[in-house]
């Protein structure tokens, strides 16, 4: 005999199912954030097989959220899947480093042109003021702070374009090159050059010189092939023979 479900039963079960789904989503998001940071900092060594069971045990979760997080990291370019073998950490090659910087340069160049056309004077000055808190090249022990400030400045410049898709694309690239950005800025002379280039970009932005500033942005960002080899080589040495982060 059919017994209709009472409103009381519907009310009891639906919230519980919703809570379970919310907990599962929160778990995946938390695991994803943790593993993304590890992948960005190359705590998974290039080419290393990623053991799902070990990660799940260390994080005290089931393998399901770990696998879901790894699939997201694969889409982000941090891990690769080899059929019948599982997930592996991304490799480092000079070509890959160069390609990421060239893509970043293309996005930031286009964003600079739009910023000159769209951004208010107030927004421009706020972006410049935030960077100028770090405008003096500091000692050799400050490179990590400067690298983060540099990333923040370039993200802010791109947001001035008013193009949310450009900002999202640059955020994804910035995470993938963060490790290399810090390596590139370790040497004080390189940081000093970066400051001078930022000053020239800022001057072009204030004058709304879209063409001149875009060319400066591209020149500032694009790695030469020789520099890409150097950064990739130093990165590998750091991972395999020194501290990663």
Angle at the Cα of 55 (from 51 to 59), degrees rounded to 5?
Answer: 175
Lowest mean pLDDT among 20-24, 174-178, 203-207: 20-24
Residue 203 above 70 pLDDT? yes
* CB of 130 closer than 8 Å to CB of 153: yes
pTM (2 d.p.): 0.81
> Could you give the dihedral angle defined by the CA atoms of residues 142, 176, 221 and 114, in that order, rounded to the nearest 10 degrees?
-110
> Tokens for 67?
């696998």
Q: What residues form DSSP beta bridges with 88?
A: 49, 80
With respect to CATH, is domain 7-89 assigned 1.10.10.10? yes
pLDDT (tens digit per residue) in 61-97: 999 999 999 999 999 999 999 999 999 999 999 999 9
Domain ranges of the chain: 7-89, 94-241
pLDDT (tens digit per residue) in 221-244: 998 888 889 999 999 998 998 755
Angle at the Cα of 239 (from 235 to 241), degrees rounded to 5?
Answer: 110
Amino acid 92: pLDDT: 92
Angle at the Cα of 144 (from 140 to 146), degrees rounded to 5?
Answer: 85
Select from 133, 147, 148, 132 the least CA-distant residue to 205: 132
Superfamily of domain 94-241: GntR ligand-binding domain-like (1.20.120.530)
φ, ψ dihedrals at 204, nearest 5°: -65, -35
């Amino acid at each position: 005999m059919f017994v209709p479900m009472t409103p009381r039963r519907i009310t009891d079960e639906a919230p519980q199912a919703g809570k379970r789904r919310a907990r599962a989503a929160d778990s995946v998001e938390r695991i994803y954030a943790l593993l993304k940071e590890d992948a960005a900092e190359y705590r998974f060594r290039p080419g290393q097989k990623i053991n799902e069971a070990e990660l799940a045990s260390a994080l005290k979760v089931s393998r399901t959220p770990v696998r879901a997080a790894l699939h997201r990291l694969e889409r982000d370019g941090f891990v690769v899947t080899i059929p019948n073998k599982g997930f592996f950490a991304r490799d480092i090659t000079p070509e890959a480093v160069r390609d990421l910087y060239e893509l970043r340069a293309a996005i930031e160049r286009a964003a600079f042109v739009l910023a000159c056309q769209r951004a208010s004077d107030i927004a421009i000055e706020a972006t410049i003021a935030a960077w100028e808190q770090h405008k003096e090249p500091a000692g050799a022990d400050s490179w990590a702070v400067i690298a983060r400030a540099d990333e923040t400045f370039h993200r802010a410049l791109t947001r001035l374009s008013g193009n949310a898709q450009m900002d999202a694309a640059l955020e994804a690239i910035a995470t993938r090159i963060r490790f290399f950005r810090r390596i590139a800025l370790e040497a004080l002379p390189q940081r000093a050059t970066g400051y001078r280039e930022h000053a020239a970009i800022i001057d072009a932005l204030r004058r709304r010189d879209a063409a001149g500033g875009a060319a400066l942005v591209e020149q500032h960002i694009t790695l030469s092939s020789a520099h890409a080899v150097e950064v990739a080589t130093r990165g590998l040495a750091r991972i395999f023979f020194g501290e990663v982060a």
